[in-house]
Structure 1
Amino acid sequence: MDLFEPESFERFVLTLAGVSLVEQWGAKVAKVGGKVFALVSLTPPDLHHLVFKTGETSFEVLTALEGIKQAPYFAKRQWVCTAPDAPLSPDEIEAYLRRSYRLIASNLTKKLQRELGLLEP
């Protein structure tokens, strides 16, 4: 599955509990509890680039790689923009998207996490 392709990105993120998709900012944007955790760009110059949240250590490692930079328009560090030719395998991309989802979901209120089916009632 090529997660840099909007259709594949959409199919993958919708397998995660409580995820909604919207089109905004010239991208397909994946949210959990109304909070962005990933997006795939639909417009140049970053057509089919993935943006997702990382931890501090992953941010440092990833942005040292060719084809990965700090995501533009995301004011805080730990958001990366990954080009389709970045040296990451499909499994690694999937793992980073899952981790981004978990990072964002963990900051939601416990009540909202339960409503979204992320916690036991």
Structure 2
Amino acid sequence: MDLDFLRSFCLGLTACTEDVKWDNDLVFSIGGKMFCVAALDLPFKCSFKVKDEEFDELMCRPHFEPAPYMARAKWVLVTNPSVIHKDEWEAFIRQSYELVKAKLTKKLRVELGLEK
């Protein structure tokens, strides 16, 4: 996993936008709501939202930490991207996208072309 792979995958999701926040974090959003944040500085680190029931389980895995400022919303920080296989990365990022998308208003989801 690297920044190029992450950008390619995230930007392939419908209505995804990216921007740089806090000077050195690449943020991927849907409807103005973040679903993935990656450090532009080395070493590569990435944060994303997980299901409530997965949060505690993931905190027991090596190189997973509560995401700073976002852990209360069940975000995790992966400090070593090599501990996760590509398929698992895609599943985590897609799940985060879907969790955030589900919280958008129906009107906004329609405007973004996510539903009719």
TM-score by length of 1: 0.87
Quote the residue 1:48 is aligned against.
Answer: 44
Amino-acid identity (%) = 32
Asked if 2 retains the 8 angstrom alpha-carbon contact of 1:65 and 1:87, the reply is no
Measured after TM superposition, the shift of residue 88 of structure 1 is 2.1
Measured after TM superposition, the shift of residue 27 of structure 1 is 1.1
Runs of 4+ in 1 over 4 A off after TM superposition: none
Determine the C-alpha separation between the residues in 1 that align with 2:65 and 2:99: 19
Return the match for 2:72 from 66, 69, 76: 76
Quote the residue 2:98 is aligned against.
Answer: 102
Determine the C-alpha separation between the residues in 1 that align with 2:28 and 2:96: 11
TM-score by length of 2: 0.91
Asked if 2 retains the 8 angstrom alpha-carbon contact of 1:65 and 1:86, the reply is no
Return the match for 1:62 from 58, 61, 75: 58
Quote the residue 2:21 is aligned against.
Answer: 24
Stretches of structure 2 that go unaligned for 5 or more consecutive residues are none
Q: Quick check: which one's helix share is greater?
A: 2
CA offset digits 1:50-95 (Å, max 9, x no partner): 1000011111111110000000122524100012356321101110
- Count, aligned residues: 115
Asked if 1 retains the 8 angstrom alpha-carbon contact of 2:44 and 2:81, the reply is no
